[in-house]
Amino acid sequence: MNSFIDYIPHIIAPELLAQARVFIDSHHKFVITAHISPDGDAIGSVLGMKQYLEAKGKEATVVLNDAPGHNLSFIPGYRSDVIVYDNQNDGTPSQRDEAIRAIQQSDAMICLDFNAVTRMGGMKDLWMSHPAPKLLLDHHLAPEADQFDICISQPKLAATCELIYRFILELGDDHLLNKQIATSLFCGLMTDTGWFIFNSNRPDFHLIMARFMMEDVDRENIIKESQVIPERKLRLLGYLINQKLHIVREHKAAYMSLSLSECRRYGHQKGDSEGYVNEPLNIEGIQVSAFFREEKNFVKVSLRSKGEYPVNLIAEKFFNGGGHRNAAGGEFLGSLQQAEAIFVKVLPLFDKYLQ
Ligand code: 5GP
Ligand code: MN
């Protein structure tokens, strides 16, 4: 049975895996988190890990700094199975007390899908000051390994959800996989690969997909559900592309910005503008795209690129952020106009990466 999974190479260093095994086996009350403004991989990861630990007979609670956007509602349990520490911005009462209790009562802590503790936002100090041992599973470059007791970092993988399946497999727990776990992990792999485009040529990626399908993951329906958007989101995208898209041909770049007053005009809700940054990359000859969205105290920056173009360097050096080579972001303390001007100004420095 399941012999095809023997073709999935084991990649976690044996000593790390041994430490992780002791970490899981010797604790009972787990608390799990992921990065602020959680995306599909963050939510799929925390839910998949929670469901795996529960299948092992453990107690596991997910605590997030802030609530996932409605764009992730296709992931079963995306709101009902998580406790949100910060204000939820959608009228639901704060779950801060519950979050604090879950953290303080835990005997083991798991961090997923981020490489720097600042990515926990306002929950960072509460989380880091709790003395329970901490395990990190992540696929971003350069993790802050010294902040965690065990750090399992695999930047070549498509998603943290891929790493979690491999973690389960390499611990010898593949038999615990069920439809719920496979569905959560499938959702994160889908979103972090841009619906199976990026980083998905590897045969083992497809073996993992096949393994998920054996648990009856409803691939077709999940993909369809994930494409459903509210009317306001399409109208806002239409407006942005029509009125706000700037092309800088000589540097193969494009950028758009969204102000707070435009957000209000279009009834923008959290998660609505997720993915807009990708749209200009479909334009012939465009290799780098930026999207700037004004928030109350800063500008949220999203960057995407094709090929060798390292947008993570732009995010790190100019926008207090980081990320992957082709998908990065940050928070800029200034105006939208300043953020745009900086982006345009630094483009020539990156011409050497253009194809
Ligand atoms: P997005 O543009 O979807 O918000 O973020 C894309 C990727 O960039 C994320 O997966 C994450 O790796 C990285 N990223 C986004 N915002 C930040 C940030 O504020 N700080 C850091 N370090 N990385 C970010
Ligand atoms: Mn990820």
Distance CA 106, CA 59 (A): 9
> What is the Å distance from ligand 2's center to 185 Cα?
11
Find the ligand nearest to 189 CA. 2
Q: Identify the residue whose C-alpha is closest to ligand 1 atom 3.
A: 302
Q: Say whether both 244 and 180 belong to one domain.
A: no
Q: Say whether both 237 and 154 belong to one domain.
A: no
Strand stretches in the chain, DSSP E: 29-34, 59-64, 83-84, 108-112, 134-138, 150-153, 246-248, 253-258, 288-294, 299-305, 322-323, 327-332
> What is the Å distance from ligand 2's center to 147 Cα?
19
Helix (H, G, I), strand (E, B), or coil: what is residue 53?
A: helix
Q: Identify the residue whose C-alpha is closest to ligand 1 atom 23.
A: 322
Helix (H, G, I), strand (E, B), or coil: what is residue 342?
A: helix
Strand 327-332 relative to strand 299-305, pairing: antiparallel
What confidence score (pLDDT) does residue 270 get?
Answer: 85
Tell me the torsion sign for CA atoms 220, 221, 226, 229. positive
Q: Say whether both 29 and 178 belong to one domain.
A: yes
Domain span at 73: 4-225
The length of the chain in residues reads 355
What confidence score (pLDDT) does residue 88 get?
Answer: 65
**How many other C-beta atoms lie within 10 A of the C-beta of residue 203?**
10
Q: Say whether both 93 and 112 belong to one domain.
A: yes
What confidence score (pLDDT) does residue 90 get?
Answer: 61
CATH code (residue 285): 3.10.310.30
Find the ligand nearest to 112 CA. 2
* Residue where one domain finishes, among candidates 204, 225, 246: 225
Whose tokens are 């009462």? That residue is 93
Q: Say whether both 184 and 249 belong to one domain.
A: no
> Which atom of ligand 1 has the smallest separation from the CA of 140?
12
Q: Is the CB of 327 under 6 A from ligand 1?
A: yes
What confidence score (pLDDT) does residue 91 get?
Answer: 58
First CA to last CA distance, the chain: 46
Question: What parts of the chain have a pLDDT lower than 50?
Answer: none
- Beta-bridge partners for 302: 291, 329
Q: Identify the residue whose C-alpha is closest to ligand 1 atom 20.
A: 321
Q: Say whether both 204 and 66 belong to one domain.
A: yes
> Which atom of ligand 1 has the smallest separation from the CA of 277?
2
Q: DSSP states of 262-313 as a string?
A: HHHHTT--TTTTTTGGGGGGGSTT--EEEEEEE-SSSEEEEEEE-TT--HHH
Q: Say whether both 330 and 279 belong to one domain.
A: yes
* Residue where one domain finishes, among candidates 167, 195, 225: 225
Q: Is the CB of 188 under 6 A from ligand 1?
A: no
Helix (H, G, I), strand (E, B), or coil: what is residue 255?
A: strand
Q: Is the CB of 271 under 6 A from ligand 1?
A: no
> What is the Å distance from ligand 2's center to 329 Cα?
13
Q: Which residues of 156-178 are buried (b: 16+ CB within 10 A; e: fewer)?
A: ebbbbbbbbbbbbbbbeeeeebe
Q: Say whether both 27 and 94 belong to one domain.
A: yes
Find the ligand nearest to 331 CA. 1
Q: Is the CB of 139 under 6 A from ligand 1?
A: no
Residue 197: partners with Cβ closer than 8 Å, 6 or more residues away? none
Residue 194 contacts residue 277 (beta carbons within 8 Å): no
Q: Say whether both 43 and 182 belong to one domain.
A: yes
> What is the Å distance from ligand 2's center to 159 Cα?
5
Radius of gyration, CA atoms only, the chain: 20
> Which atom of ligand 1 has the smallest separation from the CA of 274?
3
Q: Say whether both 151 and 250 belong to one domain.
A: no
Report in angstroms the alpha-carbon separations of 331 from 61, 314, 324, 334, 349: 29, 12, 16, 9, 21
Q: Say whether both 79 and 149 belong to one domain.
A: yes
Find the ligand nearest to 44 CA. 2
Residue 34: partners with Cβ closer than 8 Å, 6 or more residues away? 42, 43, 45, 46, 64, 111, 112, 113, 114, 160
* Residue where one domain finishes, among candidates 177, 195, 225: 225
- Which of the listed residues 35, 124, 193 should we mutate to test ligand 1's pocket, taking the one with most ligand atoms within 8 A of CB? 35
Please count the structural domains in the chain: 2
Strand stretches in 130-239, DSSP E: 134-138, 150-153
What confidence score (pLDDT) does residue 260 get?
Answer: 97
Q: Identify the residue whose C-alpha is closest to ligand 1 atom 16.
A: 329
Q: Is the CB of 144 under 6 A from ligand 1?
A: no
Find the ligand nearest to 291 CA. 1
pLDDT (tens digit, 9 = 90+) per residue, 16-29? 999 999 999 999 99
Q: Is the CB of 331 under 6 A from ligand 1?
A: yes
Q: Say whether both 103 and 196 belong to one domain.
A: yes
What confidence score (pLDDT) does residue 350 get?
Answer: 98
- Which of the listed residues 37, 66, 302, 314 should we mutate to test ligand 1's pocket, taking the one with most ligand atoms within 8 A of CB? 302
Whose tokens are 């880091």? That residue is 128
What confidence score (pLDDT) does residue 94 get?
Answer: 77
